[in-house]
Amino acid sequence: MYRTTLQGILLASSILAGVGAAAAADVTLNIESWRNDDLQIWQEKIIPAFEAKHPGIKVTFSPSAPTEYNAALNAKLDAGSAGDLVACRPFDTSLELFNKGKLEDLTALEGMKNFSDVAKAAWSTDDGKKTFCVPMASVIHGFIYNKDAFAKAGVEVPKTVDQFFAVLDKIKAEGSYIPMAMGTKDMWEAATMGYQNIGPTYWKGEEGRKALIAGAQKLTDDPWVEPYRVLAKWKPYLGDGFEAQTYPDSQNLFTLGRAAIYPAGSWEISLFNTAGLKLGAFPPPVVKDGDTCYISDHNDIGMGLNAASKNKDQAKVFLEWVASPEFASIYANALPGFFSLNSTAVEMSDPLAKEFVSWREKCKPTIRSTYQILSRGTPNLENETWTESANVINGTDTPEAAAKKLQAGLDSWYKPAK
Binding site for other proteins (CB under 8 A): 67, 70-71, 74-75, 89, 91-93, 96, 183-188, 239-246, 249, 252-253, 370-371, 375, 378-380, 382-383, 386-387, 390-391, 394, 396-397, 409, 412
Q: Residue 70 CB, nearest distance to other proteins (Å)?
A: 6
Q: Residue 153 CB, nearest distance to other proteins (Å)?
A: 21
Choice between 176 and 412, CB closer to other proteins: 412
Choice between 96 and 350, CB closer to other proteins: 96
Choice between 247 and 326, CB closer to other proteins: 247
Q: Residue 152 CB, nearest distance to other proteins (Å)?
A: 21
Q: Residue 244 CB, nearest distance to other proteins (Å)?
A: 3
SS (H, E, C) the chain: CHHHHHHHHHHHHHHHHHHHHHCCCCEEEEEEECCHHHHHHHHHHHHHHHHHHCCCEEEEEEECCHHHHHHHHHHHHHHCCCCCEEEECCCHHHHHHHHCCCECCCCCCHHHHHECHHHHHCCECCCCCCECEEEEEEEEEEEEEEHHHHHHHCCCCCCEHHHHHHHHHHHHHHCCCEEECCCCCCCHHHHHHHHHHHHHHHHCCHHHHHHHHHCCCCCCCHHHHHHHHHHHCCHHHECCCHHHCCHHHHHHHHHCCCEEEEEEEHHHHHHHHCCCCCEEEECCCECCCCCCCEEEEEEEEEEEEECCCCCHHHHHHHHHHHCCHHHHHHHHHHCCCCEECECCCCCCCCHHHHHHHHHHHHCEEECCCCCCCCCCCCCCHHHHHHHHHHHHHHCCCCHHHHHHHHHHHHHCCCCCCC
Instruction: Please give the Cα distance from 391 to 402 (Å, whole number).
Output: 8
Q: Residue 66 CB, nearest distance to other proteins (Å)?
A: 9
Q: Residue 135 CB, nearest distance to other proteins (Å)?
A: 18
Choice between 77 and 281, CB closer to other proteins: 77
Q: Residue 375 CB, nearest distance to other proteins (Å)?
A: 4
Choice between 306 and 375, CB closer to other proteins: 375
Choice between 161 and 260, CB closer to other proteins: 260
Instruction: Please give the Cα distance from 388 to 407 (Å, whole number).
Output: 11
Nearest to 198 by CA among 230, 225, 221, 232: 230
Cα torsion 13, 16, 18, 22 to 10°: value is -170
Instruction: Please give the Cα distance from 374 to 382 (Å, whole number).
Output: 8
Choice between 58 and 368, CB closer to other proteins: 368
Choice between 240 and 347, CB closer to other proteins: 240
Q: Residue 167 CB, nearest distance to other proteins (Å)?
A: 23
Q: Residue 101 CB, nearest distance to other proteins (Å)?
A: 11
Q: Residue 356 CB, nearest distance to other proteins (Å)?
A: 24
Choice between 331 and 386, CB closer to other proteins: 386
Choice between 28 and 74, CB closer to other proteins: 74
